[in-house]
Structure 1
């Protein structure tokens, strides 16, 4: 699917399209709670910086994320930008084993 000129399959291949194409979702799994919390902290700081916040939940080593631009009622480049950042943060945190 193409969103704002970006191909979701190549830009964020680990995310799934849901909600009639208005939401992208991914579940991140870490070694332990500390890694999950570190990931969430990095994401929260970045979300504040770009003023775009995820819908998410955490259970021990798992973080489930949904992204959508609610004000637009659709996916936007901000969602893709946030998803890419989250993928990067997950890799950084997971590589610290």
Structure 2
């Protein structure tokens, strides 16, 4: 699926897209709560920097995320940017 000039299957292959193409989602699983919390902290700091925030929840070692740009009611490059950063942060946390 192409969104805002991005091929989502190539750019963020681990994310799923809702049927309407307005929301992307992913569940991240970590070894423990500490890793999940470290991931969420990195994401929170980055989200503040770009002024774009995830809809998410945490349960022990899992973080479930949905991204959309609420102000326009669909996906934008900010969602793709944040998703890619989250993939990177998850990889970093799992390597520590």
TM-score class normalised by the smaller sequence: over 0.9
Tell me the equivalent position of 1:12. Answer: 12
Q: Tell me the TM-score normalized by structure 2.
A: 0.98
RMSD of aligned C-alpha atoms?
0.6
Runs of 4+ in 1 over 2 A off after TM superposition: none
Tell me the equivalent position of 1:35. Answer: 35
Aligned residues: 96
**Post-superposition offset of 1:81:** 0.1
**Post-superposition offset of 1:20:** 1.4
The more displaced of 19-28 and 71-80 is 19-28
Specify whether residues 19 and 51 from structure 1 end up closer, same or farther in structure 2 by C-alpha distance, changes over 3 A only. farther
- Partner of 1:36, secondary structure, is helix
Match runs of 1:1-97 below 5 Å: 1-18=1-18, 20-96=20-96
Q: Tell me the TM-score normalized by structure 1.
A: 0.97
Distance (whole Å) between structure 2 residues aligned to residue 54 and residue 22 of structure 1: 14
Distance (whole Å) between structure 2 residues aligned to residue 20 and residue 5 of structure 1: 17
**Post-superposition offset of 1:18:** 1.2
**Structure 1 regions of 5+ residues with no counterpart?**
none
**Post-superposition offset of 1:19:** 5.3
